[in-house]
C-alpha cells in the first residue's frame, strides 16, 4: 500500500505516505463549498503533472550531464463547469538564467517533459499546455 487517506470532516482529507510518514492535507476549493486552505485534489493532479515533468527531465539531464538545478514551474489549473473537471493544466517551465543549453538539449528535455508518466496517464481530453523559458 502507498498511502492511507482519512476524511477529517469539513471537506478536508489527510493523506499519509506510508513509507516516509509525510502528510498532505487537502481541502475542497472555495468555489466548490470548501475552505480552500490547502491544495484541493484537482490542484494535486496539476502539481503532480509539474513535479513529474521536472523529475523526468531531471533524470534525463542527470544521465547526460545537463544541469537543470533551479528550474521552476508555475502551474495554472483551469476548471470546466459542466461537467466539473480539470479542462486544462498550464505549466511554465523556467530554466536557470545562469546556464546554457544547446538546441539538441532543449529538444530532448522538451520531449521528455511532454511524455512523462503523469502526462501519459491523464485523459486525452485534458489539455496540457507547456511553455518553456530558456535562458
CATH number at residue 59: 3.30.300.20
Q: Could you read off the pLDDT tens digit of each residue along the chain, which spans 135 residues?
A: 899 999 999 999 999 999 999 999 999 999 889 898 999 999 999 999 999 999 999 999 999 999 999 999 999 999 999 999 999 999 999 999 999 999 999 999 999 999 999 999 999 999 999 999 999
Shared-domain flag, residues 83 and 113: yes
Shared-domain flag, residues 46 and 27: no
Shared-domain flag, residues 20 and 50: no
Shared-domain flag, residues 50 and 76: yes
Shared-domain flag, residues 15 and 58: no
Name the residue with cell 523526468: 56
Shared-domain flag, residues 26 and 92: no
Integer angstrom CA distances of residue 108 from 16, 28, 73, 100, 134:
35, 37, 18, 14, 13
Shared-domain flag, residues 23 and 45: no
Domain count, the chain: 2
Shared-domain flag, residues 58 and 113: yes
Shared-domain flag, residues 94 and 117: yes
Shared-domain flag, residues 28 and 47: no
- The residue segments making up the domain with residue 90 are 41-133
Shared-domain flag, residues 24 and 63: no
Alpha-carbon span 4 to 14, nearest angstrom:
8
Amino acid at each position: 500500500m502507498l498511502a492511507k487517506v482519512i476524511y477529517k470532516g469539513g471537506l478536508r482529507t489527510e493523506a499519509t505516505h506510508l513509507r516516509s510518514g509525510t502528510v498532505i492535507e487537502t481541502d475542497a476549493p472555495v468555489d466548490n463549498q470548501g475552505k480552500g486552505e490547502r491544495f484541493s485534489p484537482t490542484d494535486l493532479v496539476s502539481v503532480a503533472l509539474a513535479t513529474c515533468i521536472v523529475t523526468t527531465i531531471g533524470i534525463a539531464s542527470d544521465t547526460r550531464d545537463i544541469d537543470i538545478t533551479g528550474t521552476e514551474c508555475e502551474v495554472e489549473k483551469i476548471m470546466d463547469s459542466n461537467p466539473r473537471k480539470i479542462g486544462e493544466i498550464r505549466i511554465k517551465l523556467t530554466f536557470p538564467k545562469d546556464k546554457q543549453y544547446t538546441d539538441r538539449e532543449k529538444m530532448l528535455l522538451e520531449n521528455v517533459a511532454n511524455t512523462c508518466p503523469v502526462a501519459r496517464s491523464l485523459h486525452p481530453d485534458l489539455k496540457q499546455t507547456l511553455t518553456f523559458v530558456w535562458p
